[in-house]
Amino acid sequence: MYSIRKTAGLGLLFLCALILIFPLRADPPPDDDPLLDDDFFLFEAPTLVFEVAPILEPRSLDDIFPGLSRSKKRMVMDDDGLRYSFEKDGSPMFIPNPDSGIDLLSSVMAKKPSHVIEALVVVPYEKRELDMLDIYNALGRIKNIKDHKIYLDDDREMIIFTETTRLVSARNRKPVPDPPPTNTLPYSETMHLLFLDPYMGDLYLRGEVSISLYGITYSMTNFRDISYSIFRVMRAERFSAIIYVEPIKEGILIYSVSGLYLPNFIAKRVNLTPNMNRRITVLLDWIIEGLRIQEDSRQDKLIYRLKKD
């Protein structure tokens, strides 16, 4: 009611002002009267501009890694993909296009690692194309990491992680369940994780998810020292694994760079490169499984809707 009275009052004031400026008269106004000018009641205002996110065409493997040979491209499309390891004085094998906006190596090398392992694989689409929301939900199933095993040359199974879970926070290390799949994509997210590793010690990790224009980056860093039995194996903030995942024309691109620092006398005793490769294999298998789950879940929902209609 107050707003109605206020509006009426303003209207009355405006009418009075018009009467004072342009008195009422019985004779018709002249042709050049400004009240008859259509432009009299028009005013100029700044143009409203609404910025709409562009619909981006998916990039290709060549767009992101233009230097790959044909043989390497074939290997990238295999289940295991390509791996390459080097020590602190070495050079990487996989160099993304500088215009791609992808630079995992700089973040890893900033921690001055003694050993670095790169991995590159493309997971072809099977039932449908996947998007970034599918990738985000696939990376959210932390509890599933422990289900993946390594098969040795003599067909024995090797369990890498006996437990993988989220934690309440860095201080409150109480396990919490994974959230259900979501329909919204956050700009970023930070979580704290615990991986129980019977061979290398318990890993308390800070996981950071960031969304870019084309893909999702998942970074994991140990926020506590890593100890085996009573011996400290690695200081906090000296391990990092960064995984970049992007839907491209050929499938889902998974590119990772992992680095850690270990003194030589420890690295020689743990056979470091094969051990790191096994853990990377588990992470890659976990991501691929999550992507297949997303394919199946969306397919099931589509079939359900079609039957319902």
* Number of separate helices (H) and strands (E) present in the chain: 7, 13
For residue 296, the SS3 value is helix
pLDDT in the model for residue 18: 39
Q: What is the band of 299 on the pLDDT scale with cuts at 50, 70, 90?
A: low
72-123 pLDDT tens trace = 999 999 878 999 999 988 999 999 999 999 999 999 999 999 999 999 999 9
Mean local confidence (pLDDT), 230-249? 92
When mean pLDDT is compared across 13-17, 252-256, 261-265, the lowest value belongs to 13-17
pLDDT in the model for residue 17: 39
Flag whether pLDDT at 202 surpasses 80. yes
pLDDT in the model for residue 300: 52
Query: What type of residue sits at position 269?
Result: R
pLDDT in the model for residue 28: 47
Flag whether pLDDT at 307 surpasses 50. no
269-292 pLDDT tens trace = 777 888 899 999 999 999 999 999
When mean pLDDT is compared across 27-36, 85-94, 171-180, 237-246, the lowest value belongs to 27-36
pLDDT in the model for residue 224: 95
pLDDT in the model for residue 239: 94
Q: At a CB cut-off of 8 Å and minimum separation 6, what does 160 contact?
A: 148, 149, 150, 197, 199, 278, 279, 282
For residue 70, the SS3 value is helix
Mean local confidence (pLDDT), 57-86? 93
pLDDT in the model for residue 22: 39
Note whether 72 and 82 are within 8 A (CB).
yes
187-200 pLDDT tens trace = 999 999 999 999 88
Pairwise pLDDT comparison (136 vs 227), residue with the higher score: 136
pLDDT in the model for residue 38: 45
Flag whether pLDDT at 180 surpasses 60. yes
Q: At a CB cut-off of 8 Å and minimum separation 6, what does 102 contact?
A: 64, 96, 215, 244, 255
Query: Taking all residues of the chain, what is their mean pLDDT, rounded to a whole number?
Result: 82
pLDDT in the model for residue 185: 93
Helices (H), the chain: 2-21, 61-64, 70-76, 105-109, 132-138, 264-270, 272-308
Q: What is the band of 54 on the pLDDT scale with cuts at 50, 70, 90?
A: low
Q: The tokens 């707003």 sit on which residue?
A: 3
Q: Which of 227, 236, 239 is nearest to 196 (CA)?
A: 227
Q: What is the band of 298 on the pLDDT scale with cuts at 50, 70, 90?
A: low
Angle at 298 between CA 293 and CA 302, to 5 degrees: 145
pLDDT in the model for residue 227: 84
pLDDT in the model for residue 308: 52
Four-CA torsion 105, 110, 112, 114, nearest 10 degrees: -20
Pairwise pLDDT comparison (9 vs 252), residue with the higher score: 252
Q: At a CB cut-off of 8 Å and minimum separation 6, what does 274 contact?
A: none
Structure tokens, 26: 């019985």
When mean pLDDT is compared across 27-31, 60-64, 146-150, 254-258, the lowest value belongs to 27-31
Q: What is the band of 40 on the pLDDT scale with cuts at 50, 70, 90?
A: very low
Flag whether pLDDT at 27 surpasses 50. no
